[in-house]
Amino acid sequence: STYSDLLQAKREQVLNKNWQSILWFRFLQYLGTYQGYNYSGKIDAQLHQRFYYPPGILSEKSPAPRPVEPIKYN
């Protein structure tokens, strides 16, 4: 949150130098989130894929192959 960013900058003794950047960044972040949630246009499948499934994301979560046969329950 903005408050925690400002507190961290104060702890690191860089608040005077960075407070405007912190506020501007958070403002734009919240504005973008607001605009994104209020967008009512059509999103094509390619754009949806890019937002929710970036390249490589599924391959990182795939289980590694195992050198054993699956159990047969019949």
More confident residue, 9 or 40: 9
8 Å CB contact between 1 and 29: no
- Confidence (pLDDT) at 46: 82
Across the range 9-22, mean pLDDT stands at 97
pTM: 0.57
Across the range 57-74, mean pLDDT stands at 77
Radius of gyration of the chain (CA): 22
Across the range 31-37, mean pLDDT stands at 88
8 Å CB contact between 22 and 14: no
